Chain A
Amino acid sequence: MKKKFYLTIVLAFFALQMQAQQPVVQETEMADLMRGNGKIYVVIAVMLTILAGLIGYLIRLERKMARLEKEIY
């Protein structure tokens, strides 16, 4: 009885191994390489630079407007 039990366990492990050797489901291709070598930070740096430029422009407009408003009203 005990022998049978151990045999079952061992065979179950074989089954697991068989499962592991089945071909992996194909993963969706993502930009993993870019993340891996850190080049993605270059993209973020560029995007943030553009954002900073645009926001800086808005702030400048804001200041200019406040000055004009002081003159007019």
Chain B
Amino acid sequence: MMKYFAGISWWKSLGIALLVYTFTGGILLEVPRLPQLQETIRNLYFHVCMWFAMMILFIVSVVYAIKYLRNNKLKYDIYSRQFAVVGIFFGLLGYATGVVWMSYTWADPNNASFVSYGAVLREPKLIGTAIALLIYATYLVLRDSIPDIDKKARISSVFNVFAFVFLFPMIWILPRMLPSLHPGREGNPALNTNDIDGRMRMVFYPAIVGWTLIGIWITTLKIRLKMMEENKLLAKS
């Protein structure tokens, strides 16, 4: 098996290739012509993929947190923390892109803007995600406020599991029980084969993989940096 391509490992090159495909195919290939959405439907390849990447990174994070709790290796706690940080980063990007998208599709140009945005701000999906992201932000604050290394790792790993458990009602369950403008309340919108056009799936699934791989790449860089820092600290003491 080819391990390296152009100096970087194969999955990183795969991530790059998939993103290049997303950026060209995502703009050029045919999409369904829907009123209201029009060309903005292409945001599916970018905005929705941010949330997918976030979710996958949070899953990896909680897996490492549990791994730490099982065998007390500090390395797993560092992994867990870095995956959570990059997950939050992708979540914020998803939020920012969502703001732009909804400004052109949800906001009613006939209303005063505060009327439209007042309605938008009551979106259960937005509020739920905000709460989930804030819980993850709390995880970081809590973790970085404990000086003792072992205590820090133990408490933050437990909190990570808690944050992940809260993530589910906040972004998967509650928004589906309340009325909302946001699509995807019934079932699994992105994965349902009847819901999403076949032409779009050709770009959408590769885009998810591409964005996630880039997210993991960034995380590994952060992990390696952190490991070097820790190594230096241990050498000093």
Inter-chain contact A44/B28, CB cutoff 8 Å: yes
Inter-chain contact A58/B217, CB cutoff 8 Å: yes
Shortest Cβ distance from A63 into chain B, in angstroms? 8
Q: Please tell me if A59 contacts chain B, counting CB pairs below 8 Å.
A: yes
Instruction: Give chain B residues whose Cβ lies under 8 Å from the Cβ of A44.
Output: 23-24, 27-28
Inter-chain contact B231/A28, CB cutoff 8 Å: no
Residues 181 to 237 of chain B near chain A (Cβ within 8 Å)? 214, 217-218, 221, 224-225, 228, 231-232
Interface of A is mostly: helix
Instruction: Give chain A residues whose Cβ lies under 8 Å from the Cβ of B179.
Output: none
Interface of B is mostly: helix
Tell me, in angstroms, the Cα distance from A59 to B148 when the chains sit together: 34
Instruction: Give chain B residues whose Cβ lies under 8 Å from the Cβ of A68.
Output: 228
Inter-chain contact B218/A58, CB cutoff 8 Å: yes
Inter-chain contact B38/A30, CB cutoff 8 Å: yes
Tell me, in angstroms, the Cα distance from A68 to B226 when the chains sit together: 12
Inter-chain contact B228/A72, CB cutoff 8 Å: yes
- Which of A40, A51, A63, A65 contacts B28 (CB under 8 A)? A40
Of the four ranges (under 10, 10 to 19, 20 to 34, 35 or more), the interface on chain A belongs to: 20 to 34
Q: Please tell me if A73 contacts chain B, counting CB pairs below 8 Å.
A: yes
Inter-chain contact A48/B35, CB cutoff 8 Å: no
Inter-chain contact B218/A31, CB cutoff 8 Å: no
Inter-chain contact A40/B225, CB cutoff 8 Å: no
Inter-chain contact A65/B225, CB cutoff 8 Å: yes
Residue of B nearest to A40 (CB): B27
Q: Please tell me if A9 contacts chain B, counting CB pairs below 8 Å.
A: no
Inter-chain contact A51/B38, CB cutoff 8 Å: no
Instruction: Give chain B residues whose Cβ lies under 8 Å from the Cβ of A63.
Output: 7
Per-residue contact bits, chain B 103-141, to A (CB 8 Å; 1 contact, 0 not):
000000000000000000000000000000000000000
Sampled A-B contacts (14; CB under 8 Å): A28-B35, A44-B23, A44-B24, A44-B27, A51-B19, A51-B20, A55-B16, A55-B19, A58-B217, A62-B12, A65-B225, A65-B228, A72-B231, A72-B232
Residues of chain B touching chain A, judged by Cβ–Cβ distance below 8 Å, are 7-8, 12, 16, 19-20, 23-24, 27-28, 33-35, 38-39, 214, 217-218, 221, 224-225, 228, 231-232
